[in-house]
Amino acid sequence: MKLDVNVLRYLSKDDFRVLTAVEMGMRNHEIVPSELVDRIAGLKHGGTYKVLKNLLKYKLLHHDRSKYDGFRLTYLGYDFLAIKTLVNRGVFTGVGRQIGVGKESDIFEVAQEDGTILAMKLHRLGRTSFRAVKSKRDYLRHRSSFSWLYLSRLAALKEFAFMKALEEHDFPVPKAIDCNRHCVIMSLVQGYPMVQVKQLQNPETIFEKIIGIVVRLAEHGLIHCDFNEFNIMIDDEEKITMIDFPQMVSVSHQNAQMYFDRDIECIFKFFRKRFNMSFQEDRDDETTEVEVDENSRPSFYDITKDANALDRELEASGFTKKEQNDLDKFIEGGMEKNKDSDEDDESDDEEETVESNEEGNLSEMRSLQLQEELELEIQQWHHSFCNLVKAQRDYIQSLTGWLRLSLFQFSKNPLARSNYESKIYSFCEEWHLAIDRIPDKVASEGINSFLTAVHGIVAQQAEEHKQKKRSDSMLKDFEKKAASLRGLESKYSPYSVPEGRKKNPVIEKRAKVEFLKGKAEEEKSKHEKAVSVTRAMTLNNLQMGFPHVFQAMVGFSSVCMQAFESVYNQAKCIGEEQEEVKRLLP
């Protein structure tokens, strides 16, 4: 579906509240009932149902009546939620032309307030040509429902985390700017995909650079998994930039060597065909197959034996191990189920974590929605205030221009006309100067600083929410393992060893439970600390923000009063001569 951002201007605050409500409901519903949407959105007088019709008209929602009557987000609706959030953050102010389309993503130009052009990548896993993946791949075997939006969000989160980490380690990648839902904002790469390049000044040098990037990635513990001519950009100065990272895996992955060799083979094959480069190879004349000498290619084992731990650093950066495992399953096309009982327990635990209590989550969902609304309201306040003075200036400028044409159209010198006409013109000029003296920039900056303070609070609350989820997940994991331990203790004595096993399962299980208990207490402590930080930041930011913004508004109002009183007094003087002048005032 084509992204038409012009629709955004027709959407109200209530429209976005309902869109967000459907998104929240989709956390544990494949199809969200209208009653649940209404409860989460919290609109008055049944306004939810009217908004739902409007969103269906713009194809931001899909109404499903096949099994259950309810709604789900379309990709266009998900696009609008992500774009609106990023615009509210001030990441960009406008969406431009589409500059790329791939199997699983669309790329657009976006503009910042200062005119800087960035790239916006919208992940779209599950295009029509890839619908078979759903039936062929075991991506989320523990979920009762399947969401392409969830997969796309994971892909965007992973790409952003990897891009940021690779940039910090001086890899030639775009600069990661921000990420929200399935949308990644990055710097715009000036260049062309290698697949479009027909000739190079130094193909051997470029080949060595590209192979060097693959080797460096492996030395840092990562495999690209899709390193080919479509994901390598080159500019006019033959500078290389690597793109597209959602499929990256660790060198400890069970198929890491196969992915590494495949990346290397793609580069060799492309340069051999496109630039007629020859490599040290042995041909079998009978089978016409090419066997490349192992000495001419990088060795996976030699490179990775002392690999750095960048893959583990990325896990700590926000892309969790569970999310990595989910995405790995999608990339590989399904993994064989592990029969080990402990891993089955972990899968069950993940399922229980996802299936949270609906009633308990409503207040949490409402809180998150109110946070977004608070930022949006302050943003609109700032925007409306800036337009207030601008509208006044535009009006008086138009009025002065109209007077210049209508009263003085036969005179080159406006002041040479009648005393009455000159006074009118002088009055408008004074009005214009009075508005120019109004300190609207100071007040605007005061509102903007308050918005920054609130944004800091919201960001900290989001971090607290993430920590709470980690703490709750770890606690459930511990409780599950503790229950399993109690079952083993009732089955085996502390000193009995089952036949065929060298160690007592009770002792093994107890060690795991003790470890999880420590981790659960650690995560709980982190959450309590995050709560304290949130409360302290909320009090501090509001105590500092309120006086500043109101001081700016009081100063603005005071100067406005003086300026308009001066203009009003001058208007009264003119009014004594001619009452018709008052009609010029708005």
| DSSP letter (8 states) at residue 196 | G
Q: Hey, what are 204's tokens?
A: 């051997």
CA–CA dist 22, 9 (Å, integer): 20
Q: Please report the sign of the dihedral spanned by the C-alpha atoms of residue 312, residue 460, residue 149, residue 6.
A: negative
The Cα-based distances of 191 to 170, 184, 238, 440 in angstroms read 19, 19, 9, 42
Q: Which of 14, 64, 138, 226 is catalytic?
A: 226
DSSP bridge partners of 292: 281
The contacts of residue 439 (CB under 8 Å, 6+ apart) are 555, 556, 559
The contacts of residue 219 (CB under 8 Å, 6+ apart) are 303, 304, 306, 307, 308
Active site (annotated) includes residue 226:
yes
Least Cα distance to 207 among 292, 274, 307, 257 occurs for 274
The contacts of residue 326 (CB under 8 Å, 6+ apart) are 139, 140, 154
Runs of H (alpha helix) within 333-357: 341-354
Whether 324 contacts 313, CB under 8 Å: no
SS3 285: coil
SS3 string of 407-450?
HCCCCCCHHHCCHHHHHHHHHHHHHHHHHHCCCHHHHHHHHHHH
CA–CA dist 441, 447 (Å, integer): 10
The one-letter code for the residue type at 88 is N
The Cα-based distances of 289 to 273, 286, 292, 294 in angstroms read 15, 8, 10, 15
Whether 222 contacts 247, CB under 8 Å: no
The Cα-based distances of 63 to 35, 57, 59, 73, 345 in angstroms read 14, 11, 10, 9, 36
* Strand order across the beta sheet in which 240-242 lies: 192-193, 232-234, 240-242
The contacts of residue 136 (CB under 8 Å, 6+ apart) are 333, 334
- The catalytic residues are 226
